[in-house]
Amino acid sequence: MPANSTQLFPSFRAGANGVKPLERAILERRATPHFDGTPVPDEVIEAVLLAGAHAPSGYNFQPWRFLVLRAEDRRAALRRAAYDEAKITEAPVVIVGFAPSDGWKKTADEVFAECARRGAIPSQNLDQQKQQAVAFVETMSVTAWLNRHVMIAFTHMMLAAEVMGWDTAPMEGFKPAAVRSELALPYDVEVIALLAIGRAKGPDRAFPGRLPLKTIAFDNTVDRPWAVA
Amino acid sequence: MPANSTQLFPSFRAGANGVKPLERAILERRATPHFDGTPVPDEVIEAVLLAGAHAPSGYNFQPWRFLVLRAEDRRAALRRAAYDEAKITEAPVVIVGFAPSDGWKKTADEVFAECARRGAIPSQNLDQQKQQAVAFVETMSVTAWLNRHVMIAFTHMMLAAEVMGWDTAPMEGFKPAAVRSELALPYDVEVIALLAIGRAKGPDRAFPGRLPLKTIAFDNTVDRPWAVA
């Protein structure tokens, strides 16, 4: 299925209720504590990857990269770098979200040419447009920028898995240098997050609650907490 | 509507087609170049905030904070700190995603008490559990961690607006110190991203395309590009 397909999710429908609306996905998603051994079909993994690929990014640079670990020995290697977390070998699929520091620059010509071909940016002075965009990104902390972008894509992926009826566990407990070493990633790669996908073993965790909007949101000024209508 | 409501989105339905499935939201969302003046109803803003509030976070710390700018003079102030970007005053609502460096620690007792009350964590040794969680987060770059978390919530918000039929523009072009100064935010606040919400003026931008999965995804090892099934 090409990344510009008009259908992201497989016709295959996982749950008895079909694809969940976003509202239900947001309310029902839980970090999965344990996975059973149910395999995840290739078409589901691919739909999850396409949901990530279609995330928005600054100048459409798409700096995210995804290493899909399905082989047991590869997940065992990752587990060694991730505080021996059992979920990593229990889940049939773990996706490592990472970003090579310069990866987004290496694909920039391809990105800008495709943008111009589709009429999304002017086709004149492409190289100059690209250089200005690169220079702008470099006015920010590139590490923070890479972290932000990988998480936009990861959130798409987590929600896509949920609407298709699969369970996920996002993880941030790992030693980046050990992950690079265990998985033979280049030294200049930012390892950002892990996402296990499969079927939960046992019941979902209880919903832990959320801070009220009056604590986390503000109306025009930070002196005025958001008042629920 | 309380943050633990079982309904996030208003019964109010914006588009002729009702609420969009996630797949359509992912495929149809575009960064909006210009907004017309259509006001965004309060219940839509609140649904967007609740979608952000329900995002997942490490240990449920919820470090994100959202400043909702509706008043014209507040958006004009933000625009001065954001390269004079016209969208900021054109859109009726701009949400500033930020994170006070220590904000997540200040709400940690409340978060852990609520988690325990709901049975999501053991109710024994709450203070010790909290201290271990704080210590773990502090083994990472807290700046990167805050950036990641605000973007998870922002992605929920962007998709929630889209499924309700509203247009958005995420923005990263601003000077953080100037934003803090113009909006009277404390000095220790990380300003992470902006999200304008409203109705697009004129047609959507063309879809700029995406890199193919074989470029951004890998199968078990980074030496093996993902092969589309």
pLDDT tens, residue by residue, B170-225: 999 999 999 999 999 999 999 999 999 999 999 888 999 999 999 999 999 999 99
**Average pLDDT, consecutive stretches of 10 residues, N- to C-terminus, chain A (229 residues):** 54 54 91 95 94 97 98 98 98 98 97 97 96 97 98 98 94 97 97 98 93 97 90
d(CA B71, CA B94): 10
SS3 sequence, chain A? Answer: CCCCCCCCCCCCCCCCCCCCCHHHHHHHCCECCCECCCCCCHHHHHHHHHHHHCCCCHHHCCCCEEEEECCHHHHHHHHHCCCCCCHHHHCCEEEEEEEECCHHHHCHHHHHHHHHHCCCCCCCCHHHHHHHHHHHHCCCCHHHHHHHHHHHHHHHHHHHHHHCCCEEEEECCCCHHHHHHHCCCCCCEEEEEEEEEECECCCCCCCCCCCCHHHHEEECCCCCECCCC
Amino acid identity, position B11:
S
**Nearest CB to B120 within list A62, A118, A207:** A207
Name the pLDDT band for B10 (thresholds 50, 70, 90). low
Backbone angles phi, psi at B85, to 5 degrees: -70, 120
| CB–CB contact A9 B31 (8 Å) | no
Backbone angles phi, psi at A79, to 5 degrees: -60, -35
Sheet holding B189-198, edge to edge: A217-219, B65-69, B93-100, B189-198, B167-171
| A180 and B28 Cβ atoms separated by less than 8 Å | no
| A156 and A54 Cβ atoms separated by less than 8 Å | yes
- Angle at CA A165, nearest 5°, toward A164 and A168? 100
- Residue A213 touches partner B, C-beta closer than 8 Å: yes
d(CA A56, CA B163): 16
pLDDT tens, residue by residue, A110-165: 999 999 999 999 999 999 999 999 999 999 999 999 999 999 999 999 999 999 99
d(CA A145, CA B146): 12
Mutate to test the interface with A, among B9, B11, B12, B26 (most CBs of A within 10 A): B26
Percent of chain B with pLDDT over 70: 92
3-state SS, residue B56: coil
Burial of A72 (C-beta count, 10 Å sphere; 0-12/13-18/19+): exposed
**Nearest CB to B21 within list A4, A19, A220:** A19
- Residue B136 touches partner A, C-beta closer than 8 Å: yes
3-state SS, residue B93: strand
**Nearest CB to A140 within list B58, B74, B172:** B172
pLDDT tens, residue by residue, B137-173: 999 999 999 999 999 999 999 999 999 999 999 999 9
| CB–CB contact A8 B23 (8 Å) | yes
